[in-house]
Structure formats: structure tokens, C-alpha cells
Amino acid sequence: MGNQDLPLGPGDRHVRAFELAGWHVARTQGSHKILRKEGMQHNLAIPCHQGRDVPRALIKNQVMLAGLSIAEYCALYRGKG
């Protein structure tokens, strides 16, 4: 699976996928939701701009920081995780 397999969608939908992986919204900073997970060194920042999809390159970076594979993330995004 590659970048082209990552789903395009609004930030809130991506936040829900990460929540299925055990992340939670720690705070909102402007239009970005900052997610945390116990035991993880990094936070995730997901932009939630009204009417705009999150770029695949940004999601790929967040998926890598979350320690997920693209296939695992795609399953979570589709609600099959």
C-alpha cells in the first residue's frame, strides 16, 4: 500500500480513525485537534478546516508517528479496525 491508498477526507473523520486506534483529543489549537496516546512520545495534530480534505502527505506523516501501517490506518478509517 502506498500514499495513493490513504483516504481523502475531512479532519474530523481522520480524528475518529485515530480514536479507534486508542488516541484521544487532548486539546484544540485553532482549527487543529491535538491527539495524545498513553505511552507514545509524539502528539498528533490533525487540521479540521471546514470543507477541506486533509492532504495525504500530512496523514501519512501522522500515521507513521502513530506507529500504524497504511493498511492498518485504512481499516480504521473505514471502521473495520
pLDDT confidence of residue 60: 96
Q: How many residues does the chain have?
A: 81
- The matching CATH number, chosen from 2.40.160.210, 3.30.920.30, 3.40.1190.20, 3.40.50.300, for 3-77 is 3.30.920.30
Q: What is the pTM of this model?
A: 0.92
Strands (E), 1-81: 24-29, 32-36, 44-47
- Torsional sign, CA 16, 20, 22, 44: negative
pLDDT of residue 1 exceeding 70, the answer is no
pLDDT confidence of residue 79: 85
Which tens digit of pLDDT belongs to each residue from 15-59? 999 999 999 999 999 999 999 999 999 999 999 999 999 999 999
